Chain A
């Protein structure tokens, strides 16, 4: 009876203490989340990411990890961000040094940033010697982590602490119990329970509770298998549906901070205007820079709303070799190296024209609502399972296509009222995509 009571009691204590600790840690984790880092990240992505990495990796400009340790203290950082050319002109030692180190390319001035905002950016980009964001970004070279990732990583940390606390707790309780037990045994004149070291005791316990151990073991294995299975399924998949119809995925920063939201959303430019290969070829094509110039010859820097847009438009001019002052092509072309977002493996043959022209599939079915994206994000898994799921459920657009007339009659006979899906006409056979 005593033993039972002890167990119940100790369980209760464990639960209460656990709750208390977790609450505390949660609160502390929430309070540790300073708002300026988040703001800093936004600002960094908007203004700095085209030239700087949040790691130590060099881009157009130096990587910002550890920058606070490098630069002179005081207001230097604010002055530099607000007017770098002034500082170079003034002959500031460190300013001239980094100007020389970076191929004499001048940093774009940001006079509109407040000192707080600059601090926020630096807090994000250079949080100190331990920099998980920087490390990750370095590994992926341009890959960014989702904003949610940092919050998610704290519970893991918590769990580890919890486990340690629990183990300590159990040890303490056990010690107490043995002492109590021994005390009672002494009182009653029974032999003392031998004092075993902890692990020996665990082994002893396990030896005496084989069924429980087996059950626990099986549970553990099942748990790990399921978790592992899902974890493996996610390997190499860069899009996840976090809520129904809400996806997050791979969205690397691009050399030009091109916004589909502005072009396809606000200005309602048809997708096919730029991605002109979509009906003619297997590739939709990333438009060549001369396509940009169809509009941006007119919508030039003077028309750009913000300083950033001016800088972005200047990059197109640099790429196609356009002199906006004299309004002539100089002939110096610099190809734009985009980061590919929607990438299929080389062993898959995928044809846009098949899907868009014959299958009449809308762009957003596979690319998500691009019209709302600032930076393009992969919003569908693009895995083979995902392809095949669609092929299994999508009816073939047979009406009005002479190619399908005879086949349609045959299939109607066989499948009666069922819709004829892509899979029924062989759309999930290997050699439709793999050759």
Chain B
């Protein structure tokens, strides 16, 4: 076979193939405890009801139910009394708005049905996110309907909370504020000019007010380095799309670093190859944890966090900027430096560390390779991260002395502050604590007052994420509870009774109106800004490209053209606060200081790298069940955090009962780890916690990784028991920057029971038929031959070998009108999971919880398979055999071949949803014809016809069908934890009314968003035209930041998908089975010289 690499889905697969096969031969991994969930098993066993009685009861109840069903209930219809002009029941309205939670920024369109926001999509007018969204932003609509949200202001009396009216709370707080010696507003990064103006008014009203910006994932070190290198305590914009060589030192820029949606989009552009583009960027990654960015890198070098210092210095030396040769990975560093030198002006080095010295050296490297002004854009600095660690440290020191009142705005330091800060103790010294949190989070729980802010979808705001770029945040629903804009609260306390909507308009009238040149009057300007959601406003020079200008003016108005009432008529100006002049107290650092600091870095035996996970980010949305159930792209674990550790280290620690030196001895225990993990106690920076250990191939030896965002308190039973908090282990340097790398951690067996985890990793496997699932090649080979690594599968027939396309058991079917198809470019897919959440939101996919995921019953309609690959090649073994050196039997050889190098396996992501086979195996086995094929190529699933035999799932070669084991919206087991959004009336508001909520005993699967197809077709029919390519799109393709998923009509010769269908890289999964999927893939291309060179 052409592809000799072996792929393995989990380490357990390596250990014992037979056991693995046995375990996974069924779709559902284990015994189904029917008695347990029907009722009390013990009682049932002692019951005197015999079979005949049971049948009698059954017969009777069937007849009774049938008779009762003869009368339909009387249905009521309650129309609006006064229908709002812009609402037509049954038709969605779209409003442009913005998302910013202090970590991610995105310009969004909110889809509302009958006034309820139900789905978010990217705003294509935004030059930053360009219509793309991440999983976290997609999921944020669910947080709106969280029943844990506070319903109104609260005041603490003694230890109990009392609900208060706003007027009472205002009066009580007003009295407190008047007495206070010094007030601090502690917030996450604020990029809203109007919010900053409101804070400025508040500061003017009271004496000694201090506004401190605290980001739980801080970029303070980077700001310090930039202040030293460029004189600005800001962060530039990175242009990955302009980079030919990308070097990342531990920066997970595709999932979390700075502006991940934008970076992923830019990165995706550089990774596209085709007939006319046979070049792509080359991406090197030095990192300790296996991040999705590292997984996508052409060459990934696992290093301990402390070794990044040597590597940075080595790179600087290599590109001729000083520094010293690296004593870690010397040759590799030289190679990377040479690549950077070769791509002058087209190279880019980024670093994820919050250490100023390291960032300063990275700045020097970038200066040396001419990245400044090309791949690093200082003209458009990024304002989305302004956290000032030193100021936070100073504030904590002053709490209780010069500061006696703290207002917490969109921040939760009691949960997220490093233990070294001792924030909780400092909190107790205050005389007045006020939180604007919408939830009773850890910090709010310690406060005296909570004045809940609106959810962002209920609130007005403006954002200035980048110089010259402004966006409006428009409410899409009236506030559900008695909450109030935090800004309005601040204004009210400073004696300004303007509502925030008016205040916002006033601010735009006095500050933004003069910056634009299109509109004469404010009303037109304001309405245009609200409608588009984004505006480019430049005081002096315009640097946006012609294209971007066009995209702003030649607008295709998908969003609702809604006129907002202008209430800002009085002329009083609002103070203009520029994000350019961010206060920063971190000081500066010189290059010599930096190099000497870096040279002295000493690593420990185990080093901890604390990271933000792809699903939860900084943990602001920990309570969101969609995100909790999104499998981590690398480990595929849901509902947990854990310690990632290299298997060799696991062996060294003698965990899981591993003894001896033999590599196989490590492996032997792996089959047990799938569900039960050993728990170790970790001590880092004086903080102790217990977490399970996960074997992570690719994790740098001697390093471990733990994700933040877990171990929350105060939400509900489920969220509170999910994972452990690792934020307190974050280090605090003497100069006051937070360090997410801990160089000396102690690990010890926790002496507790093993921890059960729920991973989607090893089930839904494709049963070892690996060769025909994935195709990959190198760029060099691809440049020579488009079909490189992608041979046509053949089949033996009586006429000799024939292309499988020619061998067919079935007749072809006509597709007269449309033929819907989907192309997935494996080269662009970064595995981020945005598509999975978009699918959940669009198709009412239920959340099932950890226990059910553990039983392989997750309901996601699409999954992203992550395959580790090994570099052991069959040919080499064959050659050894021929030379007489071979000593392995055939079985042994395969076994060894499937042993990857634990140190650095390559990773490929492959999104898999229903492949809509044109000769679908599921359709032929359905006894009731509940699943069948449409003339447009869709594999249809009629839920009401399904009787739940699950034959279809068993016959599906791709294992994409999901079975409803429970009525997830009604069953009490899912109720008490409120983990399923459809369970309470509030959560149900997020459901898409165009899609049915499936009941128990029904099979479901990807429909290719048939509701969107039908909707798009109807629009086209009404307009009397064929639907244009891209007019009909699935939810997954719409949100994909890298455009890896393309949906379209194969009958439309001009569509993008029909061009891809003719691409040399096209292949189908399991093509030799002849099921003729409608979904096809494009070969993964690696920009590496030779795969075998990097073991």
Q: Residues of A with Cβ closer than 8 Å to B?
A: 139-143, 235-236, 238, 252, 276-277, 280-283, 285-291, 319-321, 333-340, 343, 346-347, 349, 351, 353-354, 357-358, 400-404, 406-407, 410-411, 414, 425-426, 429-432, 434-435
* Chain B 433-455: CB-based contact to A (< 8 A → 1; otherwise 0): 00000000000000000000000
Known: A277-B89, A347-B996, A401-B1024. A435 touches B78 (CB 8 A): no
* Chain A residues in 8 Å Cβ range of B977: none
CB-based contact B816/A340 at 8 Å:
no
* Chain A residues in 8 Å Cβ range of B716: none
* A347, B941: Cα distance in complex, Å: 12
| Closest beta carbon of chain B to A66's beta carbon, Å | 23
* Chain A residues in 8 Å Cβ range of B91: 277, 280-281
CB-based contact B934/A334 at 8 Å:
no
* Chain A residues in 8 Å Cβ range of B1010: 431, 435
Does B936 touch A at the CB level, under 8 Å?
A: yes
Residue A432 contacts which of B78, B816, B996, B1014 (CB distance < 8 angstroms)?
A: B1014
* A276, B934: Cα distance in complex, Å: 33
Q: Interface-forming stretch among B284-292, B664-672, B786-794, B1015-1023?
A: B1015-1023
CB-based contact B74/A347 at 8 Å:
no
Does B72 touch A at the CB level, under 8 Å?
A: yes
Which of B127-158 touch A at CB < 8 Å?
A: none
Residue A319 contacts which of B81, B943, B1011 (CB distance < 8 angstroms)?
A: B81
Known: A282-B90, A349-B1014, A358-B1022. A290 touches B74 (CB 8 A): no
CB-based contact A426/B935 at 8 Å:
yes
* Chain B residues in 8 Å Cβ range of A346: 996
Q: Closest residue of chain B to A319, judged by CB?
A: B81
Residue in A281, A320, A403, A410 with the greatest tally of chain B CB atoms within 10 Å: A403
CB-based contact A337/B89 at 8 Å:
no
Does B79 touch A at the CB level, under 8 Å?
A: yes
* A426, B1023: Cα distance in complex, Å: 20
* Chain A residues touching B, majority SS: loop
* A343, B73: Cα distance in complex, Å: 11
* Chain A residues in 8 Å Cβ range of B942: 430-431, 434
Does B56 touch A at the CB level, under 8 Å?
A: no
| Closest beta carbon of chain A to B747's beta carbon, Å | 51
| Closest beta carbon of chain B to A29's beta carbon, Å | 26
* Chain B residues in 8 Å Cβ range of A288: 79-83
Residue B78 contacts which of A139, A337, A354 (CB distance < 8 angstroms)?
A: A337
CB-based contact A337/B71 at 8 Å:
no
Q: Can you list 23 A-B pairs with a CB-CB distance of less than 8 A?
A: A143-B74, A280-B88, A285-B79, A286-B79, A321-B81, A333-B82, A336-B79, A337-B78, A338-B77, A339-B76, A343-B75, A347-B943, A354-B1021, A358-B1021, A403-B1020, A403-B1024, A403-B1025, A411-B816, A425-B817, A430-B940, A431-B934, A432-B1014, A434-B940
* A431, B995: Cα distance in complex, Å: 11
| Closest beta carbon of chain B to A432's beta carbon, Å | 7
CB-based contact A277/B88 at 8 Å:
yes
* A142, B941: Cα distance in complex, Å: 36
Does B208 touch A at the CB level, under 8 Å?
A: no
Residue B944 contacts which of A143, A347, A401, A425 (CB distance < 8 angstroms)?
A: A347
Known: A402-B1025, A403-B1020, A430-B940. A336 touches B78 (CB 8 A): yes
Does B69 touch A at the CB level, under 8 Å?
A: yes
Does B938 touch A at the CB level, under 8 Å?
A: yes
Q: Closest residue of chain B to A349, judged by CB?
A: B994
* A235, B1007: Cα distance in complex, Å: 31
* Chain B residues in 8 Å Cβ range of A434: 940, 942-944, 996
CB-based contact A335/B78 at 8 Å:
yes
CB-based contact A281/B88 at 8 Å:
yes
| Closest beta carbon of chain B to A392's beta carbon, Å | 15
In the complex, besides A283-B89, A339-B75, 11 extra interface pairs with C-beta distance below 8 angstroms are A236-B70, A289-B79, A334-B81, A336-B79, A338-B76, A340-B76, A354-B1018, A402-B1025, A411-B816, A429-B932, A430-B941
Does B478 touch A at the CB level, under 8 Å?
A: no
CB-based contact B70/A235 at 8 Å:
yes
| Closest beta carbon of chain B to A352's beta carbon, Å | 8
Known: A143-B74, A280-B91, A435-B995. A335 touches B81 (CB 8 A): yes
CB-based contact B1026/A402 at 8 Å:
yes
* Chain A residues in 8 Å Cβ range of B70: 235-236
* Chain B 846-865: CB-based contact to A (< 8 A → 1; otherwise 0): 00000000000000000000
Residue A320 contacts which of B82, B817, B1018, B1027 (CB distance < 8 angstroms)?
A: B82
Does B19 touch A at the CB level, under 8 Å?
A: no
Does B945 touch A at the CB level, under 8 Å?
A: yes
* Chain B residues touching A, majority SS: loop
* Chain A residues in 8 Å Cβ range of B1027: 403
* Chain A residues in 8 Å Cβ range of B80: 288-290, 335
Which of B472-507 touch A at CB < 8 Å?
A: none
* A349, B79: Cα distance in complex, Å: 19
CB-based contact A403/B1026 at 8 Å:
yes
Q: Closest residue of chain B to A281, judged by CB?
A: B90
* Chain B residues in 8 Å Cβ range of A430: 932, 934, 940-942, 945
* A349, B1010: Cα distance in complex, Å: 11
CB-based contact B90/A283 at 8 Å:
yes
* Chain B residues in 8 Å Cβ range of A353: 1018, 1022
| Closest beta carbon of chain B to A428's beta carbon, Å | 10
* Chain B residues in 8 Å Cβ range of A291: 83
| Closest beta carbon of chain A to B67's beta carbon, Å | 10
* A228, B932: Cα distance in complex, Å: 30
* A289, B934: Cα distance in complex, Å: 42
CB-based contact B89/A281 at 8 Å:
yes
* A411, B1007: Cα distance in complex, Å: 26
CB-based contact B1018/A238 at 8 Å:
no
* A404, B1027: Cα distance in complex, Å: 11
| Closest beta carbon of chain A to B553's beta carbon, Å | 29
* A320, B81: Cα distance in complex, Å: 6
Which of B674-695 touch A at CB < 8 Å?
A: none
* A359, B814: Cα distance in complex, Å: 24
* Chain A residues in 8 Å Cβ range of B77: 286, 337-340
Residue B74 contacts which of A252, A349, A404, A432 (CB distance < 8 angstroms)?
A: A252
* Chain B residues in 8 Å Cβ range of A354: 1018, 1021
Known: A280-B88, A349-B994. A410 touches B945 (CB 8 A): no
| Closest beta carbon of chain A to B94's beta carbon, Å | 15
CB-based contact B1024/A402 at 8 Å:
yes
* A337, B994: Cα distance in complex, Å: 23
Known: A426-B817, A426-B936. A289 touches B81 (CB 8 A): yes
* Chain B residues in 8 Å Cβ range of A334: 81
Residue in B77, B940, B942, B1023 with the greatest tally of chain A CB atoms within 10 Å: B77
* Chain A residues in 8 Å Cβ range of B817: 407, 425-426
* A288, B1017: Cα distance in complex, Å: 29
Which of B981-1024 touch A at CB < 8 Å?
A: 994-996, 1007, 1010-1011, 1014, 1017-1018, 1020-1024
* Chain A residues in 8 Å Cβ range of B1007: 431, 435
* Chain B residues in 8 Å Cβ range of A406: 1026
CB-based contact A140/B79 at 8 Å:
no
CB-based contact A435/B996 at 8 Å:
yes
Q: Closest residue of chain B to A329, judged by CB?
A: B82
* Chain B 899-938: CB-based contact to A (< 8 A → 1; otherwise 0): 0000000000000000000000000000000001011101
Q: Closest residue of chain A to B945, judged by CB?
A: A430
* Chain B residues in 8 Å Cβ range of A349: 994, 1011, 1014
* Chain A residues in 8 Å Cβ range of B71: 139-140, 143
* Chain B 99-113: CB-based contact to A (< 8 A → 1; otherwise 0): 000000000000000
* A351, B1023: Cα distance in complex, Å: 16
Closest 10 CB pairs of A and B: A281-B90, A431-B940, A288-B83, A340-B75, A288-B80, A430-B942, A426-B935, A402-B1024, A333-B81, A283-B90
Q: Closest residue of chain A to B1015, judged by CB?
A: A351
CB-based contact A357/B1022 at 8 Å:
yes
CB-based contact B82/A141 at 8 Å:
no
Q: Closest residue of chain A to B76, judged by CB?
A: A337
* Chain B residues in 8 Å Cβ range of A402: 1023-1026
